[in-house]
Amino acid sequence: MFLPRKILEEKLRNILAEDIGQGDITTALIVPADSTAKAEIISKETGVIAGMEEAKILLESFGFNVEILVSDGEKVKAKRILMKISGDTRTMLSVERTLLNIISRMSGIATTTRKLIEKIRKAKLKTKVACTRKVAPGLLYFDKKAVLVGGGDTHRLHLDDMILVKDNHIIVAGSIKKAIEKVRKDASFSKKIEVEVTKVKDVSAAARARADIIMLDNFSPEQTEKAVKLLKKERIFGKVLLEASGGITAENILAYASKGVDIISLGEITHSVKALDISLEITKSNKKG
Amino acid sequence: MFLPRKILEEKLRNILAEDIGQGDITTALIVPADSTAKAEIISKETGVIAGMEEAKILLESFGFNVEILVSDGEKVKAKRILMKISGDTRTMLSVERTLLNIISRMSGIATTTRKLIEKIRKAKLKTKVACTRKVAPGLLYFDKKAVLVGGGDTHRLHLDDMILVKDNHIIVAGSIKKAIEKVRKDASFSKKIEVEVTKVKDVSAAARARADIIMLDNFSPEQTEKAVKLLKKERIFGKVLLEASGGITAENILAYASKGVDIISLGEITHSVKALDISLEITKSNKKG
Amino acid sequence: MFLPRKILEEKLRNILAEDIGQGDITTALIVPADSTAKAEIISKETGVIAGMEEAKILLESFGFNVEILVSDGEKVKAKRILMKISGDTRTMLSVERTLLNIISRMSGIATTTRKLIEKIRKAKLKTKVACTRKVAPGLLYFDKKAVLVGGGDTHRLHLDDMILVKDNHIIVAGSIKKAIEKVRKDASFSKKIEVEVTKVKDVSAAARARADIIMLDNFSPEQTEKAVKLLKKERIFGKVLLEASGGITAENILAYASKGVDIISLGEITHSVKALDISLEITKSNKKG
Amino acid sequence: MFLPRKILEEKLRNILAEDIGQGDITTALIVPADSTAKAEIISKETGVIAGMEEAKILLESFGFNVEILVSDGEKVKAKRILMKISGDTRTMLSVERTLLNIISRMSGIATTTRKLIEKIRKAKLKTKVACTRKVAPGLLYFDKKAVLVGGGDTHRLHLDDMILVKDNHIIVAGSIKKAIEKVRKDASFSKKIEVEVTKVKDVSAAARARADIIMLDNFSPEQTEKAVKLLKKERIFGKVLLEASGGITAENILAYASKGVDIISLGEITHSVKALDISLEITKSNKKG
Amino acid sequence: MFLPRKILEEKLRNILAEDIGQGDITTALIVPADSTAKAEIISKETGVIAGMEEAKILLESFGFNVEILVSDGEKVKAKRILMKISGDTRTMLSVERTLLNIISRMSGIATTTRKLIEKIRKAKLKTKVACTRKVAPGLLYFDKKAVLVGGGDTHRLHLDDMILVKDNHIIVAGSIKKAIEKVRKDASFSKKIEVEVTKVKDVSAAARARADIIMLDNFSPEQTEKAVKLLKKERIFGKVLLEASGGITAENILAYASKGVDIISLGEITHSVKALDISLEITKSNKKG
Amino acid sequence: MFLPRKILEEKLRNILAEDIGQGDITTALIVPADSTAKAEIISKETGVIAGMEEAKILLESFGFNVEILVSDGEKVKAKRILMKISGDTRTMLSVERTLLNIISRMSGIATTTRKLIEKIRKAKLKTKVACTRKVAPGLLYFDKKAVLVGGGDTHRLHLDDMILVKDNHIIVAGSIKKAIEKVRKDASFSKKIEVEVTKVKDVSAAARARADIIMLDNFSPEQTEKAVKLLKKERIFGKVLLEASGGITAENILAYASKGVDIISLGEITHSVKALDISLEITKSNKKG
């Protein structure tokens, strides 16, 4: 997920523009036009930091000198200084909130993702943790990037990305078999094909129709185990990837991971984010640049 | 916060465009071009619904017939049908995720807001519950609107909206008094002036400098009580609005509300949203329109 | 009204893009690709200069060296050099007209605003002079900023900014009282409330309903005087701001100001601008950079 | 200058979006979501109306029924109803100001243009009245269209439109002759070539170099007369178009027109507009649609 | 590649806007504002038609009635009527060229794609024909969609779509093996991995490193044959997809297809398009709608 | 056709953004964040180079050092290095394809244009070669600019540029005479007027109605000769420009040019482009910047 700077700058500028409106009136009244300041961005909680690349590009494009002290993906303790910045005071105070909102949300996502992965790794399992497209509206890039920084899998980046046959597609197609056949026939060679199944018995139908990945939708850990057994019995286990999705939480994730699925995806990583507490503190302020 | 339809349509279309990329390839492969479907949007959890207006405008602008069954701000139980829609199946499946992301996030925000307010009202208190500008980046409109639907106060809609003198402004200005004087002198008559204070003793300085609102930043309930007493003693209590902000949660909110502040604002309403679980279920699908 | 540079750059670039079309064909035919030039921006009339900040950002973003000789808000005589610039000749000639249009319009607005204010100050009055939302379509930022530079009050920056109950709102609500009650009940604590009244007797209704500001719409100086007397009689004078608006010109402005209103707003400051005559003169031209 | 509806809609929506910000808060608080209203747009002054086409497209794209009673270019007296509209009340009050700003500015431009033309026609002269590119920044389309509606000539629509060799181009090229030669050699066959001259003697140089149009820049009426005589003497008069520009006002326009120039252009038509007073009056309001 | 109508409308409107500039001046001068016309879009050559969906959406969004007579992907002979349209004459003439440019280019691409595929199918081969990202700048959607309509494979829709390790990536990574290892380790499970190889011997390295697809870059037919033999010998043939790319033309395509590759990709399908000759003919014109 | 850098940057960034999607995933996985590289852009075929200015601006805006070795319009042989660039490796690989697509298409257009012109010049003829508006959708600027670089005439840059009365306009107007009269009466003095005629006899009608240019649409060389003779007989030849258009190819272009037309325009220069083969080769790669 590498975006050249100018592309990212535009995304960031649009976010800022909404917040600024016709301009920061408080700052204009209090801060002289030519004053400069130094400041530190500080994490007030323990967590995994994300958004450093985005913050740097936002800040540099607004003319700041930026010194990054913590890399994307690094775990920090409370009170850790993430970056030091210096530049125009008016601009600093105008972008402060937007900047912190980006780092806070992205770090919150990375922190949650990392915790889930660590839980799985401690149990000596290799299951991947993935997010879904259940992001904050319009934040697909930022939310997916944060998952990646946290060590997770980004899953589909948008609807043109992988073929994912979901419940409503199957209703329209008539059956899993018909849906996959249609897709197999005309899909680009460059795409993987995933199918969502809601019952254990559909798993072998999906596997036999040569799906690359099968999503076990809202399966209980027991159903998941049955699905794995079925595939082993049919000697397809290991030839198709299995993704568990739906109803999985930090509490029950090991119950799923231990059944042998390859990927576990959770909507809540991105739709129910707990932001990390990040603040900007001015350390020095000069009236004249 | 009334946005004419065309303005809102453009915001919504931009959100959708990011998710769609070069087009929904799964749907294009499975669903015939002229098929239509009926579907229901269902809340799978108890909560306060928001985003109905936004959903309706999104759906109608994409050609759907929409029947709204639940109004913005209504509290629903699990399994409640929120709206029925009918129209082009391909378009329905392409917009499904974006649509649900909007309703889920907005309803999650409204639900949390309402809970906080109900807790306060049950204690027979009139304190307002407000959000901050700590929203998901770029979602200022949607997050603030959801707070409003939940019964909360939107606070500043952007940086040109009210004058809010924060910690970093005071550092630059030199003192609370100097900051407010500068602002008083040149601010538009149309703006209120709020000042953030971090110590009890600063409260009376701020009040004497004729701030319209004083934000008690990260005060404990005890400090809050002292601030109120101070103002009463100086006979300014009731002439200036008091806003408690920072470190306030569902657990301790009554401790603050009971001290006599007018407004309690919480960043977590919008920065740490728990999305409400909403789904779209196709109830009928026709190959031919 | 402080806009970070990148936000302003985009506004300016969009304005320029409309004028440029597919490119400046005259300049491309005459001026070699690598020639540079020096030029001066000169005011050909006496007036108050505005738009220096905007011009600087536009020019610097297009690669020019810019030396500002006159600050925003400074009054100059005819023939005064406002800034010296140097850089790519082709770009200079391509942006010339857009650049001058911005400075001319903004300076025209600032000049008119200043004249009105000076007239009032000479009469030893403190009345503020404000603009309205009657701007050139799409130029809300530039027109309001110019008023500010001229010393005026920007009034509402857009429709989400302060609550202003106007004639048509009152028609819909049924009465001034009902309108203000509705607004009082649900409005954000962060907003002031202004009400437009068209008859003297409505002034006390508005004041009693606790409007923060009352706009006397199209009142004659005599009606204005009556309104003030009424408020004094009811002992509300001084507790609510009074804004005179409608039908006020440079000729009759003192008649209003002397009656004791706090603010006088005039649509013509921004809707009927007399541009200041500004020109760009090349002082040196080199074929090679 | 015919713009298909969707193109114009986008221009208009962008203008409105700036004014709306995060939404019309007053209207949202006072006007019920499903109320409708009827209203009339009325000219409060005598003038030539422009902007009816733009207003209609704006209003229809926001869902209003629109009845146009006055055509673009028609001269009306005070109190004339220009159009009747009906539709959603909230939307009506939210777009009111932007709508009126467009009609007021465009009608103001059309009115001034028409007056100048009538003055010339009364003197039995055929001279065309043209505007320049000295428009309000970003309003090239609207300002030029208004001139056209008023009966004037739009001159260049942007910088790629006709070749216009101005003073600064001549400085760079070295001489009028060199500038025109360069241009003649490489310009597209589809473009006319106009040259700006500042001295009488340069007129014949420009004509001999085969400019299609010569702009007499800041000539006095006497210089204009001399230029015409010179061309007559050299038997080029009538073979090249003459445009008088700079320092021309309503007062002295006949002095120029009577000298035999083909076109008179005035920056002030568009840079120093006097808006026509237009208002929207609600005639009926229903709470329920 | 299904794009909801509103998303496609915006792409199309932006294309049109560039061509229209400040408006169609010829049409405005000649065609009355309220005239309507009927017209036919006709193919003047034999070919495979694409762009009907896009044309319909463009035309309907500009208010036309559209009757589609030929479906996307259908092969037509010269003089075939593709669609009949009726609506506003001014709009029709303003969008004519943009409309025809879209259909002509897309149909040209579909026609070439189909010819290549038919050649291969006649030889009883199943090889897929794919395009590359060598499209006209900015026309990724339209060019890829046209290939799809012609029966071809769209390959990557953008850079986030499949992992394609190209020559320059291998230079940076150090070797094919290192490049694929890096990618295997961290890539999303949802992505296929393709590797570009330039020598026969690298084919087995790529296959052993478990690439999903190997691109034989600029291989001669003989080298291609050797690569296939090598894979057969190593018993990997059939387990990895083979794509031939570079230097392949209509003339030599069978030489490649017959060697057993799965996909043949050609840049020229999209970078060197021969447009199909399409015209719009007015069949009826009414001055009054 | 000179576009200031920032305007062109935005066009280029939008083109790139479509290709990048949510980011270059291959490059992100393989190339370290801080590595730099040097590369050469090489023409692999003989041709006329265009797009150097655009490439330079694109590259510099993404932070590259750029050394241009070949100027726009220069003819090169195969293997010629066009430019050397150095900078961030990730960005280089992400923009590579878009960059090459622009240079390839523009150079392809310039090469074809130049060949046609050289053919005409070798025959000692002065006829201009022009393109039309039959460009790739949305690429009006780039396609026209490439024609210019190749030595051709850009013809109309958009629909507001010159008045061109085409077949469908004449159908609506009733006759050539009526069409030109309407246009003559109201057109801006700044515009030339061209008329398209389809029969020899219409040529004198168009000339007598004082068209500036007559387009002989789909005339055979014989009809073209007759048209010229007719104009000579009526003594109008040389007073009106003649443009031959429609059905003209590299093969028959001399047959037209030799008849005495002033301009020959060909749609295929821009609608059926043969891209020039251009590649980017990394010459040095460092892991650390």
Give the C-alpha separation, D239 to D284, whole Å: 60
Burial class (CB in 10 A: 0-12, 13-18, 19+), F233: exposed
Query: What spatial distance separates the first Cα and last Cα of chain D, rounded to whole Å?
Result: 37
Three-state SS sequence of chain C: CECCHHHHHHHHHHHHHHHHCCCEHHHHHHCCCCCEEEEEEEECCCEECCCHHHHHHHHHHCCCEEEECCCCCCEECCCEEEEEEEEEHHHHHHHHHHHHHHHHHHHHHHHHHHHHHHHHHHCCCCCEEECCCCCCCCCHHHHHHHHHHHCCECCCCCCCCCEEECHHHHHHHCCHHHHHHHHHHHCCCCECEEEEECCHHHHHHHHHCCCCEEEEECCCHHHHHHHHHHHHHCCCECCEEEEEECCCCCCCHHHHHCCCCCEEECCHHHHCCCCCCEEEEEEEEECCC
Q: Please choose, from the candidates B105, C144, B189, C104, the residue with its C-alpha nearest in 3D space to the C-alpha of residue A21.
A: C144
CA B216-B217-B222 angle, 5° bins: 65
**pLDDT tens by residue, A220-238:** 999 999 999 999 999 999 9
Task: Please check whether residue E266 is in contact with residue E249, taking contact to mean a CB–CB distance below 8 angstroms.
Answer: yes
Q: Are E12 and E61 in contact (CB under 8 A)?
A: yes
Q: Chain F contacts of D154, Cβ < 8 Å?
A: 188, 190
Q: Is E201 exposed, middle or buried (0-12, 13-18, 19+ CB in 10 A)?
A: exposed
Q: Which amino acid is at F273?
A: V
Long-range contacts of E205-210, Cβ-Cβ distance < 8 Å, separation of 24 or more: E205/E176, E205/E177, E206/E176, E206/E180, E206/E240, E207/E231, E207/E234, E207/E236, E207/E239, E207/E240, E208/E234, E208/E236, E209/E176, E209/E177, E209/E180, E209/E181, E209/E184, E210/E180, E210/E184
pLDDT at A289: 46
A81 touches chain E (CB under 8 A): no
The 3-state DSSP class for residue E150 equals: helix
**Which of A169, A275, A281 lies at the smallest CB-CB distance from B30?**
A169
Is residue C107 within 8 Å of residue C47, measured between CB atoms? yes
Nearest CA among C49, C46, C76, C61 for reference residue C16: C61
Q: Do B101 and A137 touch (CB under 8 A)?
A: yes
pLDDT per position in chain F (289 positions), as tens? Answer: 889 898 999 999 999 999 999 999 999 999 998 899 999 999 999 999 999 999 999 999 999 999 999 999 999 999 999 999 999 999 999 999 999 999 999 999 999 999 999 999 999 999 999 999 999 999 999 999 999 999 999 999 999 989 999 999 998 899 999 999 999 999 999 999 999 999 999 999 999 999 999 999 999 999 999 999 999 999 999 999 999 999 999 999 999 999 999 999 999 999 999 999 999 999 998 876 4
Closest-CA distance, F27 to chain A, in angstroms, reads 7
Q: Say if residues F214 and F206 touch (Cβ distance below 8 Å).
A: yes
Quote helix, strand, coil % in chain F, to nearest 5: 45, 20, 35
Whether the predicted pLDDT of D264 surpasses 80: yes
Round to whole Å and give the CA distance between C142 and C134: 13
* Cβ neighbours around C147 below 10 Å, total: 29
All residues of chain D having their beta carbon less than 8 Å from the beta carbon of residue E24 are: 2-3
Q: Computed over its alpha carbons, how large is the radius of gyration of chain E? A: 23
Per DSSP, helices labelled H in F151-239 are: 167-173, 176-186, 200-208, 221-233
User: At residue B222, does pLDDT exceed 80?
Assistant: yes
Name residue A39's beta-bridge partners.
A85, A282
**Cβ atoms of residues A90 and A126 within 8 Å:** no
- Residues of F labelled catalytic: 97, 134, 166, 196, 217
Name the residue facing B91 among E4, E140, E144 (closest C-beta): E4
d(CA C289, nearest CA chain F) in Å = 16
What's the confidence (pLDDT) of residue D289?
46
Per-residue pLDDT, A165? 96
**For D200-226, what is the mean pLDDT?**
95
**Continuous segment of H or E residues that includes residue E145:** helix E140-150
Distance of CA B172 to the CA centre of its chain: 30
pLDDT at residue B288 is higher than 90: no
Three state DSSP letters for E86-130: EEEHHHHHHHHHHHHHHHHHHHHHHHHHHHHHHHHHHCCCCCEEE
Between chains, do A189 and E161 touch, taking CB under 8 Å as contact? Answer: no
- Residue E28 Cα, gap to closest chain D Cα (Å): 5
Two tokens, residue F197: 């005629």
Does the structure show a pLDDT above 50 at E251? yes
- Would you state the structure tokens that stand for residue A162, as one six-digit string? 């992988």
Instruction: Give the three-class secondary structure for A39.
Output: strand
What is the rounded CA–CA span in Å between residue C130 and residue D144? 29
Contact between C136 and C273 (Cβ < 8 Å): yes
Whether D62 and B6 lie within 8 Å, measured CB to CB: yes
- CA–CA distances in Å: residue F174 to residues A149, E284, E285, F196: 68, 12, 10, 14
* CA–CA min distance E267, chain D (Å): 33
**What secondary structure letter does DSSP report for B63?**
T
Cβ F3–C22 below 8 Å, yes or no?
Answer: yes
Pairing status of strand F263-265 against strand F128-130: parallel
Using DSSP's 3-state secondary structure scheme, residue D39 falls into strand
**pLDDT value at residue F289:** 46
DSSP E strands in chain E: the ranges are 36-43, 47-48, 65-68, 75-76, 80-88, 128-130, 163-165, 193-197, 213-217, 241-245, 263-265, 278-286
What is the Rg, in whole angstroms, of the alpha carbon atoms belonging to chain A? 23
Measured in angstroms, the CA of B104 and the nearest CA of chain E are apart by 22
pLDDT digits (tens, 9 = 90+) for E79-93: 999 999 999 999 999
**Which residues, at least 6 apart from B285, have a Cβ–Cβ distance to it below 8 Å?**
A171, A172, B35, B36, B37, B38, B89
Q: 3-class SS at B175?
A: coil
Interface contact B9, partner E, CB < 8 A: yes
End-to-end CA distance of chain A, in Å? Answer: 37
pLDDT at A250 over 70: yes
Instruction: Judge contact between F214 and F243, C-beta under 8 A.
Output: yes
Q: Would you state the structure tokens that stand for residue E143, as one six-digit string? A: 């060019």
Mean pLDDT for the stretch of residues A135-153: 97
Residues of chain F contacting D1 with CB distance shorter than 8 Å: 160
Neighbours of chain B (3+ CB pairs under 8 A): A, C, D, E
Q: For chain B, what is the mean pLDDT?
A: 95
Q: How far apart are CA F220 and CA F235, in angstroms?
A: 22
B140:D22 CB<8 A: yes
Partner C contacted by F2 (CB < 8 A): yes
Q: What would the pLDDT profile of A150-180 be if each residue is shown by its tens digit? A: 999 999 999 998 999 999 999 889 999 999 9
Structure tokens at F244: 């031959």
- Name the closest residue on chain E to residue A128, using Cα atoms: E189
Phi, psi values for residue D250, rounded to 5°:
-55, -30
- Residue D230 scores a pLDDT above 50: yes
Instruction: Name the pLDDT band for E129 (thresholds 50, 70, 90).
Output: very high
- Interface D-F: count of C-beta contacts within 8 A: 56
> What whole-number distance in Å separates Cα of residue A105 and Cα of residue A34?
32
d(CA B101, CA B275): 8
How near does any CA of chain E get to the CA of A98, in Å? 26
* Separation CA C35–CA D168 (nearest Å): 13
d(CA C112, CA F278): 58
Using the Cβ of A159 and the Cβ atoms of chain F, whether some distance falls under 8 Å is answered with no
CB < 8 Å to F189, chain D: 128, 130, 153, 213, 241, 243, 262-263
Contact D95 B4 (CB under 8 A): yes
Residue D72 has pLDDT above 80, yes or no: yes
Question: If you measure CA to CA, which chain B residue comes closest to D31?
Answer: B2
23-42 in D: which are within 8 Å (CB) of C? Answer: 23-27, 29-31, 35, 37, 39
Give the per-residue pLDDT at F286: 85
Cβ-Cβ contacts under 8 Å, A33 against chain C: 53
ipTM: 0.95
Residue B1 at interface with chain C, using a CB cutoff of 8 Å: yes
Question: What is the band of C289 on the pLDDT scale with cuts at 50, 70, 90?
Answer: very low
Under an 8 A CB cutoff, do E95 and D140 touch?
Answer: no
Whether residue C288 has pLDDT greater than 80:
no
By Cβ distance, the residue of D158, D160, D189 closest to F263 is: D189
**pLDDT the model gives residue F285:** 87
User: What are the CA-CA distances from residue C101 to residues C12, C15, C108, D135, D248 (Å)?
Assistant: 11, 10, 10, 7, 18
In whole angstroms, what is the distance from residue B27 CA to residue B35 CA? 11
Q: How far apart are CA F201 and CA F193, in angstroms?
A: 19
Reference C234, options C200, C255, C204; nearest CA is C204
Q: Confidence class of residue B232 from pLDDT cuts 50, 70 and 90?
A: very high
Q: Which residue of B has its CA nearest to E2?
A: B23
b/e for A273-284, b at 16 or more Cβ within 10 A?
A: bbbbbbebebee
F250 touches chain E (CB under 8 A): no
Which of F16, F22, F91 comes nearest A1 by C-beta? F22
The average pLDDT across C26-30 equals 93
pLDDT tens digit sequence for C128-151 = 999 999 999 999 999 999 999 999
- The distance of D161 to chain F (nearest Cα, Å) reads 5
pLDDT 10s digits, A34-73: 899 999 999 999 999 999 999 999 999 999 999 999 999 9
| Residue A271 backbone phi and psi in degrees, to 5 | -90, -20
Residue A227 structure tokens? 């699905």
Cβ distance A188 to E194 under 8 Å? no
Fill in the DSSP letter of residue E258: T
Measure CB to CB from residue E22 to each of D4, D10, D158 and give the nearest one.
D158
> Degrees (nearest 5) of the Cα angle D200, D204, D207?
125
Q: Which of E1, E161, E213 sits opposite A161 (nearest CB)?
A: E161
Closest by Cα among E180, B21, F19 to A3: F19
What pLDDT, in 10s, does the model give residues B62-111? Answer: 999 999 999 999 999 999 999 999 999 999 999 999 999 999 999 999 99
